[in-house]
């Protein structure tokens, strides 16, 4: 996925501005809803992915649902996962490309949830986007599986993936369709990056275009299916 391995230090806002901006915005939105019941109602009514409203043309909701969370543990786990998986990936591929991956995975998760979910379903959360980052890292680990470090990373991520995919079997209310959609988008984008961007002088631009194209594809499918 990257042209060459680089040594990167501890992630900061300066080195991973998109990751930390998403963290800040998402937590701020959650806090606003927590402090004001009216604001919480307003945000939910206007940003949540209600499939029946998406069907009526409010397709933007496949993106905005990623900004909302239903409780402290929900936002904590998603934002902690973003902190673990996001900044170092952003440092490697560039901020615009990372932003396009995050948005595309959120959109793909929302699209799959809409296309295959019940029409009366209402869902919120950044899990689709987070699974997209997870999918990208899984692809990197798979590409590096011939090395001891790559095998170890692939095995560790595989265990985490199995646990997270199994959670809907034991915990109700989890939109597993969005998880699968985001995961698939992350793997697809990382694969396309490896095919078309690696070794190119404008690799970061190519990565950004690929991520944007996947996001646009998810939007088009949502509109016409």
- Please confirm, yes or no, whether 127 is among the known catalytic residues: yes
What pLDDT score was predicted for residue 160?
A: 77
Instruction: Print the domain residue range for 132.
Output: 17-224
Structural domain contains residue 10:
no
- Per the structure, the count of domains in the chain is 1
- The answer to whether the CB of 79 falls within 8 A of the CB of 23 is yes
Structural domain contains residue 212:
yes
3-state secondary structure of 103: helix
CA 183 to chain centre: 8
pLDDT in tens, 15-61: 999 999 999 999 999 999 999 999 999 999 999 999 999 999 999 99
pLDDT in tens, 138-183: 999 998 887 877 778 878 887 877 777 777 766 667 899 999 999 9
Structural domain contains residue 151:
yes
- The answer to whether the CB of 179 falls within 8 A of the CB of 111 is no
What pLDDT score was predicted for residue 201?
A: 95
Nearest to 67 by CA among 79, 85, 55, 50: 79
- Please confirm, yes or no, whether 74 is among the known catalytic residues: no
Structural domain contains residue 168:
yes
Name the catalytic one among 19, 100, 179, 194.
Answer: 179
Q: Indicate the pTM of the whole model.
A: 0.92
Virtual torsion, Cα 208, 161, 110, 87, nearest 10 deg: -40
CATH number for the domain spanning 79: value is 1.20.1540.10
């Amino acid at each position: 996925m990257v042209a060459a391995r680089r040594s990167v230090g501890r992630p900061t806002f300066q080195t991973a501005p998109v990751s930390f901006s998403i963290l800040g915005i998402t937590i701020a939105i959650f806090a606003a809803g927590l402090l004001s019941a009216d604001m919480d109602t307003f945000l939910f009514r206007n940003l949540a992915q209600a499939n029946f409203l998406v069907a009526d043309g409010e397709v933007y909701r496949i993106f905005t649902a990623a900004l909302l969370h239903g409780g402290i543990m929900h936002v904590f786990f998603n934002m902690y996962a973003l902190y673990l998986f996001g900044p170092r990936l952003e440092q490697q591929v560039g901020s615009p490309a990372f932003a396009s991956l995050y948005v595309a995975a959120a959109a793909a998760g929302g699209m799959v949830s809409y296309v295959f979910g019940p029409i009366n379903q209402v869902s919120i959360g950044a899990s689709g986007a987070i699974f997209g980052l997870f999918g990208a890292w899984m692809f990197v680990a798979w590409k590096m599986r011939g090395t001891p470090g790559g095998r170890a990373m692939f095995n560790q991520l595989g265990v985490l993936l199995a646990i997270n995919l199994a959670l809907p079997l034991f915990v109700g209310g989890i939109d597993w369709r969005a998880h699968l959609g985001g995961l698939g988008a992350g793997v697809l984008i990382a694969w396309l990056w490896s095919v078309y961007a690696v070794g190119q002088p404008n690799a970061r631009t190519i990565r950004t275009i690929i991520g944007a194209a996947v996001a646009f594809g998810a939007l088009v499918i949502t509109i016409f299916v």
